[in-house]
Each structure stands twice: as structure tokens, then as C-alpha cells.
Structure 1
Amino acid sequence: MMQSNQEPNHYRNGNAGVPAYTNGGGGGGGGALVPVGNGMEPSPASMGGNEGAGQVDPKALLNAFRRRWFLAVTVGLFCGGSAAAAVYLLVPPNYVASSIVYIDATPGTVLQDSSSFSSDFDTFKRTQMFRALQRVVLDTALSEPVRNSELKRYGFKTIGDLPLIKAQAFPIDWLEARLSASGRQEEFFAIKMEYSEKPEELAEIVNAITQVYYRDIANESKLLDKKRIAMLIELSDDYEQETKKKLDEIAKLGRRLGITSEEELSLDIAADNAFSRELQQQYFDLTIMRYNLKLETRITEKIGDTVEENPDIQAEMIETLIDRDPKMADLLVKADAIEANIRRYEETLKDTENNSVLKSARREQETTQEAIAKYREELRPIIEQKIRESGNAQNPDDLPAEERIARMDVILEQLKEELDNRKIQKTQIVTDSFELQQLQKEAAKLEARTDEINNKIDVLKIELGAPDRIKVAQWAEVPRIKDWESLYKKSAMAGLGVFGLFVAAIVWFEFQAKRIDTLGDVTGGLNLRIMGALPQMPRWASQKSSKAKKTAKSAFWHSVLTESIDAARTVLIRDANVESTRLVMVGSAISGEGKTTLSCHLAASLARVGRNTLLVDCDFRKSNVHRVFGVEEQPGLSEVLLGTASLEEAIKSPSDDGPDVLPAGQFNSQLLAALAQDGLGKIFEELKKKYEFVVVDSSPVLPVTDSLMVAQHVDAVILSIRRDVSRRPKVAATRDRLAMLGVPVLGAVVIGLDGETSGYRSGYGGYGYGSRYGYGYQYNRSPEPTPSQS
């Protein structure tokens, strides 16, 4: 329960600076108490006892196993053994049919380099193991024919007709649940199927699946190569047909040109060009002569004075002579042919912007036009020089100018006609030759592609003859004996699994109990100061036999216990001197936490140092104090509260040097009503007047309300906390309940948490409250317990 910062200080932790103590662990075991706390008040955050929520402490888990290992192992062994026996008796052993598949770590090739393939063989192997059991493989296997002659005799034609398959509503799912692929060896893996009956059918099913895998999946690359070969052959045929068309066009064009080869075409063109240049040269020279003669005639006729005085006539003549130059004529013919081809391409082609042939023709046209312009500029000064030289030449025939001009006109006309015819012919030849070149280029490309495809086809055909990378190393045989070893393993796994489950469950439930194991759980987790630490007494040390009491070890342990109690007594006396804490109740959260042992020893320790001390047993439902000190239970505090006895009659003095004892008396329902009234407070006030210290042994706080009614009348409470018994949430709840009543908590005395004696685990017995606390409960007297068992 969370407390606010404004809550009154109900946790009186020694305001005068009294330190907390624990067993210092002197030589040999117990030792005196030494300071371990700082006397600080608990913080409100720790009130709920939820520290460390959501975290698992390995040490706490180990302590939980230590406390419950015997129970966990015993239950685990019993349940695990039962599970193993059940599996062994109820699960029938299976027949196992298996085939073995071999995978070559290096792919088999003939021409190709095997290093180019993927080197991750493990991945390839796992992939093949997965693909071997794909649903498509299983589905195809159901249609495979039965090969076993015995099964054929019964009329089973396909795997799907077998009784094992026919009996299944979903055969593919059934097969997937019983098939497995495993590969322990590097280059091998097995396809297995397990079932408890019909071994012949098991082997047949496994072989069918192996056959489908090997045929359709394992060497899939060769199947793909065959498909590629078929596609490449079809593509090669298409290229060959296209190449044949181009060659036919080349042959047709060659016949039209009258040639049989490209060399012959080149020779014809060269001879024609030479003859054309000769004719053009003659035409050129004769034109110059006629021009000069005409000029002379014009001069005589007073048409003009000189050639220089008629620049227009001279320029026209020069341009005519330039066009008649043989080389210029060739360039002009080539330009005309290229232009004709471009027009033809533009008319026939759809994509005139991106066609490579058309782009090449346009580039060649630009180059030719640049050559024409350059040669025209080079030729112009040469012709002008020849015109001037021919004007000064003598007439060899001494004929009249008009006759000579007439002759020249006839010759020039004939030359012009011949040159025009040759120009037309040459233009057609150039056009056809250009088209021929383009066809030859296209045919060469097609032939190169066809050769490349044919080479690829040849390589793939050769690789088809390479050894298979995946082979069936062993087909499944009919199993004759059942796999008992697998059943043994299943039984062992079931037994170990159930054993581990129950051990883990018991340890986990014990861990969830959040029992106190260390001093840190008290000082840090619960924020309680430690007033003292009692050692965990071994059982033999608490036995009452004379032999045990006379041993040195027993004497040692009793001395350790006495010294530890005396240390707690010292803290209590210090608090009494500072805050007058004389009426102290010793309580615990639940039963079995040693509160009766602590109250008895604390009262005895106070009496041993001369303090007038009374031990009051307020554990009405399960009183034990009278047994410890050997006094009568009645009359007791119950009778005093009910008015049937006086205090003097109820108080007993067992010994001169020990504390007085007020036993609990007889428990009944009337006592609970008396507790709720103020009678107990008056009795305690009267006792405080007679005694220096009154130690009250109460009932556990959480199971019953008796202790809360008693706690309202005491000065303070000391909590008894016992290792492996006390639980942090319950101790926190006890602290909070006392705080709500305004009862101060001096601190806690821990049992079994000292460092040196923590190895002794026997300790005290259980308190034994449980459900026996209730109205009308009659306690069944048991033999007198030892102090360590309360």
C-alpha cells in the first residue's frame, strides 16, 4: 500500500541514531551482530513490495530451484517417465522408406568454365531439398504409374490409386506431413517417408516423388537449354531467310549492272570514268577554243573589245567549263545518285529520323557537297589561265572564223550528247552500286548474327552431353523392419520435454512467490532496518537428546544463537531507553517464520541480563509458549480477558532467572469479542507497571485479525523474517497493515540470512496455520516442539 509523504512517522527506526545490526560472521559461524543498516525511514515507493517488477533475477531463479529442486525433480521424473512410457506404448513404430540423391559440388560442363557458376553449394543443396518436396512435385507424383509388380497385380495403375493415398481426404497435405528431406553428408540428401503400415506402398510413393523431382526439377537447366536451343534454331532460320532475301536482291542488281562480282563492278566503273574524263577534256579544250574564236569574231564585228571587257560572258563560260571537268563531273554524278537514294529512302522508310542507312546517306551527301565546293574553287583559276592562253594561239588551218566555229559546234554537240548519255548511265550505275553496297552490308550483318546464333546452338548441344549434376544414387527399397530407434528418440524427447516443463513450471511458480533470500531483499526491497540476524540452526543442534547436547558442535550452535539474540536485545534496550518502547509485539506475515522462537529467546535474553520480563502468548489459535517453558496452558490470557481468572493466577514463573510467562489459555469464540473491546489494553497497562519489558508473541498478521487487534495496544512491533519462507509481497502487506493502524515497526529480525551460516538449510519446521485458523477451531495438541520449529 502506497503512503504519501505527509504520512505520520509510524516506522520508528531509531531517531537517536541507533544503528541496525546483523551477524558479523565471526570465526567459525555465528558471531556477534554488526551494523548493516543506516536507520533511514523507508521510502513510500517501497511500500507495495513490487520492486523489480517485470525483471527476472537469475540468482532468484537459482534460489527458487534450490528450495524446490527435490519436488521439481520428483514430479518431473514421474511425469516425464509417464510421458515417455505413453509415447512408447501408444505411438506405433514406423517403417521408413528413403531414396538418396547425389549432388555434384562442381557443375559438370564440357566447354563452359565451371568457376562461373555460383560457389554457394550449401544454398544450392538446401534449395534442392526444398524443391524436392514442393506441392507441384507431390501432385505430379500422384499421376506417376505404379512400377511395383506386386502392386500392379492388385490393379493399381497410378500412385494416386494406392490405398494409402485413397484413404486420405487431402493426400497432398498428408504427404507433406510425413515426408522429409535431410542431408547430413555434403553431396547427398535423402527423401524419406515414415508410416506405420504398408511398406510396399511407402517405397513406391518415395520412388515416384524422386522420379518426378529428378525428371522435372533436378536437371531443370538441361531442359531449359533444350528450350533455348529450339528458340535459337527458330531465330537462326529467320535470319537465314532474311539473308537469303538480301543475297537475291544483290544478285538481281548485279545482273542488271552486268557484273558478277564487286571487283568486276569496280573495274567497269574505273574504265568508264577514264573514258568519260577523256571526252570531257576534249569538250573542255574545244569549248575554250570556240569561245576565244567567237570573241575574236565579236571584236571584228565591234560587239565587244576584249574578254576582260565582258565579265558576264567570261563568268558563264568559266562555270560551264568547271561543270565539264571530268573530276567535277564525277562528283556531280555521285551527288545526284546520293540524292536519288535519299529520296527513295524517304519515300519507303517509315522512321526517317532514326534509320541508320538514311543517316549514313545524308552524311555522305554533306561530304560530297563539301568536296564539290572545294574543287570548284581550286579549278576556277586554272580555267581562267587556259582561256587567256587559248586566246593567243594561232589558227593552224587558216580557215575563216565562221567555218571554224561551225565545225566546233558540230563536234561540241556530238561530245555533249555523248557526255549526257554517259552521265545518265553513270548516275544509274552509281545509284545501283550504292544500293548494292548497302545490301552487302546488311547481308554481312545478318550472316554474322546467324553465325553467332549457330555457334551458341553448337555450344548448348555439346553441353547437353555433359554429365548430370544431380543423380539418383539409390532408389527406395521396401523396408522390412520398423524404425524402433526413432521411437526410442521420440520417447526420450517426450520424457525430457515433460520433465523440463514440470521442473520449469514448479521453479517458476516458486520464483513468483518472491521469497526472501538475501539481506538486500529486506533492506532494499522492503526498506526495513535489520535489528538482528539469527543463524539457521541445523536440525541436529536443536534435538533434545543428551548426546546431542553434550557435543561440542551443538554447544557452539547454541552459543551462536544466544549471541545473536543478545545483539537484538541490545537494540531493543537502546530503543526502550530512547523512546520508552517496553511493550513489544513479535509478529510475522504468515506462519512458519519463527516469531515464537524469536519471542521466546528475546524474552529469555532480557531476563538473563536482569530485566524484569514477561512473555505473553497472544497466539490464541495455536499457542506454543507454554510448551517451550513447560507450564500449564490454563488459566491464561483468555481466561483473564473473559474474567474467569486473575492476572496473578494466569502468570507463571518457570524459573528464577527466566522470564515470567502468561500463556494464551483456551481459545473460543467469546475470546474474539473480548479482544475487540478495551480489556486487553487495560491488561497491558497493568503489566507495564509490573515489568520492565513485556514481549508479546502474536498470531500471523495476514491469516487472521487477532494480531492486528493486539497490535493496537503495544508500543512497537518487531517482524520475524525467515529465509526461504517469508515472501516479500506478504511482508510488505503486513508492514502496510500495521502502518494503517498507526503501529510503529522497529525493524526486522532475520533468520538464516547471515552470510556465514547460510549453508545450513535444515532450519525450523513449518508453522502450520493454513486454513486451520477460523472460528470454532479446536487445536489438536502435538508433541512439544523445539524452539527452532515455531
Structure 2
Amino acid sequence: MARPIAGDPPTNQPQYQPQSNGAPVPVALSPFNYTNQPNIPGPAVASTPTPVGLLNAFRRRWVLGTFIAGLVAAAVVVGVWLVMPAGKHQVRALVQLQPKQVEFVNKTQEDFEAYRRHQMFLLKTRDVLTRVLADPAVSSLDTVKQSEDPVAVLEDALRVTVAAPEILEVTLTGNNIEDMKVILDHLIKRYVDDATSIDRKLRDDTTANLEKLRASVQLEIDLQEKNIELIGRNNGTTGAEATNTALALLQKRHIEAEGLFVVAGREIEKAESERKVVLKQLDEKDQKSPPDPVIVAQLVAADPRVGAAKKAHTARKEFLEKEAAKATNPDSDDGIVKLRSEVKKLETEVKDAEKQAATESLAVAQAIDSAKRQKRVEELSFTIDVKKEERERYRQERDGLQKVIASTASGGLNIEAMRKSLQPQREMYDKIQSQLIQMRVAAQQGGRVSSRGDAEKIPNNNQNKKVALASAGGFVSFFGVILLVSFLEWRSRRVDSVDQVVNELGMRVIGTVPAFPNRASLQAATEAGGANWRFVLNESINSTRTMLLHTAKAQAMQVVMVTSATQGEGKTSLASQLATSMATAGMRTLIVDCDLRNPSIMKLFELPLTPGVSEVLRQEVDVSDAVQATAVPNLWIIPAGQCSNATIAALAQGHPLETLFNRLRGQFDFVIVDSCPVLPVADALLIAQHVDGVVFSIMQDISQLPKVITASEKLTQLNILLVGAVVNGIKQDVYSYGYNYVKQLPA
């Protein structure tokens, strides 16, 4: 068969067919591109993991991943369980506080917040706690018996907080919730009893004091009323109608004297306020207000340095004016210009002298201001003394008029005043009487402190939280480790399925080979009446052979190389199985072991290593002497031979290998070449340039996508035809296609 040249289209597929009118008619495009390779999608390796990819990655490492995840999850569960506190139970009781219902005479309103703080303190006093723990019902509890200092333990575990303005929340924390409830119930009862007893005693004492005060006020009112009655009898009158006119005049003069007294007092206050402000200004070390600018200007004008500077400036300025008047062109006269410069300089000196004098004058001006303020203080003090004397005179006049009015008002006036003076005593008596009634009502209602039910048990939920968090931590860590192991395995980018070879590698799949079962699985399947694995394997190889022969016929291929990206991907096994299948089909088939560095074909067929390809390339033996028959009819093998540097050099020359293949084409129907992997060494690339096509062997769960892509790209760059890929290690339940239908047929 003629071998197609790289770059030429297949000879048996013309691009055009003539029409009836002689014009070329386009036909369907060839399934091969300009390099005689199939038109298949280019590589599109996923850059991010997918759920299916991670699942397949975990399937390859499920034993290791599950083991590590189990260890990590167990460690997390134990760690969370030990780190989280065990927690304690809690018992809670509520205490009701009542505001004070009765406000006592001559006393301010009660501070309820202070009363509440006092009750919170009383609840935790050692006296109350000691008496509670001494109760037989409490002292017999295991919690109390096992404690060395139960009072101190109770003080630490007891908490009193404000739940509402009038409600106290009392909580007790511990391990034995039943004992704590008994202790807290007795504590609240003891506290309420003590508080009620204190309130009752205080109420009784207050009631007794109020009754004594009421009797005293009643006696005072009775005595005053008898005195009024006696005065009325002595004066023969019960009012003040006879003296109303005289009293009116006296009261008018009294009002005028009172007004003058008030005005004098206001003037004194005004003068004292002004004196206080001036004294404060005098006491200040740093004067905030600037001195009088007029005083400062006078001091600057009187400064001798300023006067001398101004005199010098004036004299030089007059001399400049005279010289300028004499000069023909004063603007260009150097003398005039010099004089003007001197005048400006003297003017600057005047300003500097004024500035310096002004700075030095500030202190003098401030001293003058201080002297003025001091003088003002003296004036105000004098005014205050005078006004005080006037006010005292007005006061004496007012008081004198008051005495005259008091002495003038006889009879009815005196009696009326005495009656009015009894009004406070009567009001006090009524208030005392009202308080006594309220005290009696409060005595029937009980104390100000009461308990709102029994203590409430609040079991600790930390145990459930610990279980939940430990379980959640173990669950998250378990699946987290599994996800991590899956991701790390996914990063190796191993081939998961046939679809991945087609979609991501862009290779044509011409066949699949089932995975080798272990001995136990194979025996169990046979005993269960399942399909014989060897028949399944044969049918897979026969299907691949059919696809390969079809492509070989269409592309005029006779020599096909089987290779892989790296070692361990099933290329040698695939080559031997394909060759065996072709020989079984009646074709004269030859296997050429070109894996010169690591040969293994001769081991499968139990043949000697030499003579072989290495000896032929070195021209030490003839091709016919290297061909060895096998036990399989129509199948022959040329082993690898003994490789050496001379063999590799001959392989690199290319001509000896091309001569070898050309001789074999005429002697055999099909030649299967088992080469070394593409990536480790360059031997496969050298051999592939002399074959008709390349079949790529890919091992599921072993081959790595990046390496396969790199290997295929190297072959593509050399215009080497990639016939397709064969995926090894396929699970039968996935790609068996009904292989369980296969039965052993009779010979």
C-alpha cells in the first residue's frame, strides 16, 4: 500500500466531483484536516473543579480520604467536647418590692432606688445565709455536706439583679439543681419573713410615735383656743373694725419704707457685683482686655527715641525737598536718589521706634488701667457702705412702723392673728390623723417585700449544645477533609471517563478496554453465573480492532504505533491484545517492540529478547532473522533486542527504521508497533515519523490530562496522524454495553 504523505488529503476521497455541465461540485468535507488528522474539538481542560470531577477524584482516593477524614472528625469532636465548658444548672426566684405607702410628717419622699439597693444587700448578708444553712432541711443536703465552707460557696453562687423597677431576680448556680431549689426556696422565705418582721416593727413604732404627736398637737390647739377666748373677754371685742383707718395709714407708710429698703438692697447688690468683676480683673495675671489705645498713643508720642527719629526724618526730608528743587532732573540725580534712600531709611527707623515704644508702653498702659480699676473698687466700696447705712435706716423705720402697727392693732386684730396662727397646727393634726388611718390599712395588707411563687429550675442546656456543636464540627471537618482530599486528587487531572477524553482532550475514542478485576471478584462473578471477563475483554478488543481497521482502510494505513503519555497507561497490553485480535481474524500480524529502553512484549509471549529491533537498526542481523513466531496463529513478533547508544543513534538517523518498516509492509497485512511513552524520552517521536498512524493508550484514573495534552501536541506538531485513543481500565457496569449477553460459543 502506498503511504500518504503528511499534508496530503486521503487519495480515496476526492474533494470535488464533476457535474453534468463540467463544473466541480463540492462534496462532504473529509473527517480529517490538512494534516490527515480527525477534525475533533481542541483540548478544553476545565480550570475549575466540578462536582462530578471531585466525585471521581474522591472515588480514586476514597479509602485514604475516608480514613483521614474520620481521624480529623474524631479529633474535632473530642476537641470541641473538651474545650466547651460543661456549664451549671440555675435556679431563679422573683421578689416583689412595694413602694412606701405612707409619707411621714416632716420627712422627705422615700428614695426607692436606695431602698432597693438596701434590700439587695440584705439578701446576701452572711447572717441570712448562715441561718438558712442552719435549717435542718438545708443542712442535710449533699451539696451543703460536701462543701468545706458552704456560706462562701453560697455567696459566690448567689446573684441578685434588678429584673424590673419593683422586682428583684435572685439566681443560684450549681451542679445539683434539686438541692439548689431547696436552698433558694428557704433563702427567699427567710428573707421575706425577716423583711416582713422588720416592716411590722417599724410600722408599730411609727404608729405609736404618730399617736403621741397627735396628742401633743391637740393639746397645743386646745391651749391656744383658750388663750384667744380669754383675750376676747378682756378686750370686750372679737375683731378689729374700730382701728381699720389708722392701720391703713400705718400700713401705707410701712409699704413705702419696705420699698425703699428693697431698692437700697438692689443698689448694694449691683455695686457689689461690679466690684467683684473689677477685683477679678485685677487678680488676673495676664490681662485679657487690651489697654486704652489713647494712653498707648500718648506714651508713644512722649517717647524720646520716637521724637529723635521723627526729628531726624523731618530734617532730612526738608533737605531732600530743597535739593530736589535745585536739581534740573531730580529723578536721575545720584545725590537726590541717595537722599531719597536715606529718607526712606529714616522713615523705617521712625516706624521701628514707634513699634518698640508701643510694645514698651503696653505695660505702662496696663499699670494705668490697673490703677483706674483700683480707684473704681474704692469708689464702689464707698458707695456700698453708704447704701448699707441707708438700707439700715429704712429697715429701722420699717420695723418701727411694724411695731406701731402691732401695738395699734388691739382687740379684734390680735384675736384674728391668733386664730390664723392656729391654722398650721390644725393642718398638721389632720395630716397625722390621715397617716394613722393609712398605717392601719397598711397593717392589714402585709409587708413591703413578698415572694412571687416558688423558685424556678433552669436546667443547663450546654450538654445539648456540646453534642450539637461537636456533631456539627465532626460533620463539617469530615466532609471538609473529604473535599480537600478530592480537590488535591483533582489537581492531578487524571482521566475520569471516556467523555472527558472526547470533550476535554478533544481525542477520538476508537475503543475501550475493561479494567482487570482482582482474583476474588473474578472468581465470585464466575460462581454467580456472570459473564466471563475474558470474553468481555475479547469483545472490547474486537470492537477496537474493527474501528482501527476501518480507519486504516480509509486512510491506507498498515503500520500503526501504540503509545501513551507516560508509562503505566496500558500501551503494551493494548498493543499485544490488538495484534492478537487481528491475527485471530485471519490477518498476518506483526508486533514490533520499539520500547527499546524498557521492553516487555517478549515477556508476555515468553520469547527471547534478542535478536530484535536494536540489532536490526545497528545492521547486525537481517530483518528476517529477527522475526519470531508465537503460539498464536498468524501472529509474529520482533522483540526489542539489546539497546545501546548506537541503537539510539541509529534510531535518530531515521533511515534504518524507515527501511525496516518498508520491508515489513510487503510481508504482513498489519504491523503493530509498541513504542515507549512520548514524554520521558524522544524515542516515540522519532518512531512516530515513520508509521502510518498512532493509537494513544489512556488509562482511566491513571493518565493525567495535562500530560496527555502535552504528548498529543508534540505528535501533532510533527504532523503525525492520531488515529484515536483507547481508554483502558473502564468499569464494566459503565461501558459494558450489555457484555453480560456474551456467552461462550462452541468451537
Taking structure 1 as the reference length, what is the TM-score of the superposition?
0.41
Taking structure 2 as the reference length, what is the TM-score of the superposition?
0.43
